[in-house]
């Protein structure tokens, strides 16, 4: 019969071994793994998913990308992760992807969302997440990016407007820019900017919304014109068509402005015939966006 102190020692050893085995078997934060995590910011517990590319190491700074979900219908970071396909792209490009949750919606800078009205500091939340991720991984602070879908895209616009010193590029999918933000946007530095907009988008129309007031959005071409001005781009784009290999009634034209200040670039993806969707079809938006952000060639 084991004496009480021997039993306690045996139990302690067993618990240590079990914890070690669990740690060895838990690769959620290892390269090629993902996890759901939380961060308390602004008195709120914020939830986010993280995926770390298999190519990422603790020693070499890696690019960091935020993928911002739509908010209507209700969504979250986990759904954006499934929809966008950025995990697979991350493995190809060697990046870390963070999929944060909005509290209700995003503070897009128009004073018309719940987050704006309630004073939620979503830009500050993303900046805090950069610091949080950097505790575990080496982050390349010169290659931090944000891409947003639908209302997440309107928020990505704001990230570029308000935090250009922290973000090297933003991309907007199935949105343009709110008119109130367009009147106030003053990026501190040039940033790479890409916009993917469907010509049959009825939520955030390609030609802008007809409403007046805080809910108004400007057109895709006006959005590109603004960012070209911010980035000091020339008037002559490089134009290409994405091969039309999928019979979905869509076609994609890319107008890319490469002659801009510094490393900035601006690109408009006009998706002829596409409604309000994450536009999988003839192109992979996640792959296109990652290439656009990380390609240093003009």
Ordered structural domains, the chain, with CATH: 29-294 (3.40.50.1820)
CA distances to 86, 136, 166 from 64, in Å:
12, 13, 11
Per-residue pLDDT tens digits for 245-267? 888 889 999 999 999 999 999 99
Per-residue pLDDT tens digits for 60-82? 999 999 999 999 888 999 999 99
pTM beyond 0.75, yes or no: yes
Q: Please compute the mean of the pLDDT values over residues 212-229 and round it to a whole number.
A: 91
**pLDDT score for 111:** 80
CA nearest to 292, candidates 234, 232, 240, 223: 240
**pLDDT score for 31:** 58
Number of residues in the chain: 298
**pLDDT score for 18:** 35
Q: Please compute the mean of the pLDDT values over residues 215-228 and round it to a whole number.
A: 95
169 near 260, Cβ under 8 Å? no
Mean model confidence pLDDT for the chain: 88
Q: Please compute the mean of the pLDDT values over residues 142-146 and round it to a whole number.
A: 97
Q: Please compute the mean of the pLDDT values over residues 30-44 and round it to a whole number.
A: 84
pLDDT tops 60 at residue 201: yes
Can you tell me the distance from the alpha carbon of 12 to that of 222, in angstroms, rounded to the nearest whole number? Answer: 66
pLDDT tops 80 at residue 37: yes
């Amino acid at each position: 019969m084991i004496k009480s102190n021997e039993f306690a020692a045996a139990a302690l050893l067993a618990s240590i071994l079990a914890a070690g085995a669990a740690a060895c078997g838990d690769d959620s934060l290892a390269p090629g793994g993902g996890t759901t995590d939380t961060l308390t910011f602004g008195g709120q517990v914020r939830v986010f998913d993280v995926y770390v590319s298999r190519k990422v190491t603790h020693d070499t700074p890696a690019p960091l990308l935020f993928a911002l979900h739509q908010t209507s219908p209700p969504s979250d970071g986990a759904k954006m992760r499934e929809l966008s396909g950025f995990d697979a792209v991350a493995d190809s490009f060697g990046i870390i992807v963070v999929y944060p949750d909005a509290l209700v919606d995003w503070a897009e800078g128009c004073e018309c969302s719940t987050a704006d009205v309630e004073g939620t500091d979503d830009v500050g939340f993303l900046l805090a997440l950069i610091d949080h991720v950097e505790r575990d991984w080496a982050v390349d602070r010169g290659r931090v990016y944000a891409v947003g879908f639908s209302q997440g895209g309107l928020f990505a616009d704001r990230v570029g407007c308000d935090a250009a010193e922290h973000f090297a590029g933003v991309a907007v999918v199935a949105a343009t820019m709110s008119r109130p933000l367009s009147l106030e946007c003053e990026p501190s530095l040039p940033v790479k900017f890409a916009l993917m907009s469907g010509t049959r988008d009825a939520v955030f129309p390609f030609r802008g919304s007809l409403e007046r007031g805080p809910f108004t959005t400007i057109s895709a071409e006006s959005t590109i014109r603004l960012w070209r001005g911010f980035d000091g781009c020339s008037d002559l784009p490089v134009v290409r068509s994405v091969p039309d290999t999928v019979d979905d009634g869509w076609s994609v034209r890319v107008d890319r402005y490469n002659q801009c200040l510094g490393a900035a670039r601006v690109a408009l993806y006009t998706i002829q015939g596409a409604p309000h969707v994450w536009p999988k079809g003839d192109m992979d938006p996640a792959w296109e966006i990652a290439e656009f952000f990380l390609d240093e060639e003009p």
